[in-house]
Amino acid sequence: MRNAKGEDILSFLIAATNSIRKARIRWKRARLETRARQSGTSYCCRVLTGLSDYNLSINSDMTVSCNCQDDGGAGVIGDLSCQCLKDVFHGPRATAFRRALASGRLPILTCACCSELLAVGRLEAERLEKTFEVPRKGVMVENTVACNLHCVACERARVVHSRKKPSLSLDDMRRVSMEIRQHGIETVYFFKYGEPFLSPDVVEEIRILRADNPNVRIVVSTNGIPIDSDSRRDAALDTDLIYFSIDGVSDAVLRKYQRGGSFERSFSNMRELVRRRDEREQKKPEIEWKYVVFNWNDRPGMIRRAMELAEEAGVDAISFWPTTVPYHGVSWRYRYSRFWQTVGKECWKGREVRLSHPMRTGR
């Protein structure tokens, strides 16, 4: 347990790094808008034109956001409790966002650091302002904002304050599911700011999604602690890909970021889910250990031990995700040491180590 002085220092570091991060984003926004004015170019958003495969988000209160970083609600473009997705995309908020982008302005601060922002010519921007559709490749569904952890950089209070209710009801889920079916959406990312398996209705929620959309790809991210009952394990086994976010190989290391977490419980539940999947001879879900890399969990000995444990658990992969949040946790070792260049293969996540699955190799 940290003493009061340690907590004060950590709080100061978090506040300072958050302020620096926001200042950098404001500077980047101003720079991008200045560049657009000087060059005569414009911007468009892959989400608002229908090209995105990830960021469109249906939040726990049925509001719809244009990005996955919308912890304060600035990116809300509509509300599925009184609109359909098509109406949301044709609504005044989405229209205003597209118009601002076409004129070279970024409508919200998040645009400056969003992967969906594209620089385009003025004529192309004007065309995309009027030619758009609901993204069909993927959508994010936040079934709850409840969480059992208190991660260092998570602005939990801000998220909860921005939502009119903390969880989707089953009626909400049915409506969301039918929207997904109507638009033929290919992938549902069943997570956002909360821990999806903390919803008391998560079993029924996944059942509804699967029943209405038998071919949809369901991707879940979890800290793994709540997947501790037969019913929740059965629900997890009805998905296509599940990430277990476990940021260390011991409680002491993991809790430096995932406060309130438990390595033993998360790892045990991950291993048990693999065992049940293999016992049933299921090929899905793919189960992956997601290891976010900080400067306190990035040493070669820790990483080798994580890979050994991943092999022992029987997961399909372990991936290592570098981060700049919080700034005081950045792993320079990941960026510059030779060791990290030998870990798996480079990919969009960072580094990934694929592991042999016993059922597929006949062992």
Q: Read off the pLDDT of residues 87-125 as tens digits, 9 standing for 90 and up.
A: 999 999 999 999 999 999 999 999 999 999 999 998 998
The token duo for 69 is 């970083």
Token pair 């879940």 is at which residue?
220
Give the integer Cα–Cα distance in Å for 169 and 177: 12
pLDDT one-digit tens code per residue, 155-177: 888 899 999 999 999 999 999 99
pLDDT attached to residue 10: 61
Sort residue 64 into left (φ over 0), alpha (ψ -120 to 50) or beta: beta
Give the integer Cα–Cα distance in Å for 236 and 219: 10
pLDDT attached to residue 18: 67
Q: Which segments of 148-299 does DSSP mark as H helices, in order?
A: 156-162, 170-183, 202-212, 230-236, 251-254, 263-279
pLDDT one-digit tens code per residue, 343-352: 999 999 999 9
- Whether the model clears a pTM of 0.95, i.e. scores above it, the answer is no
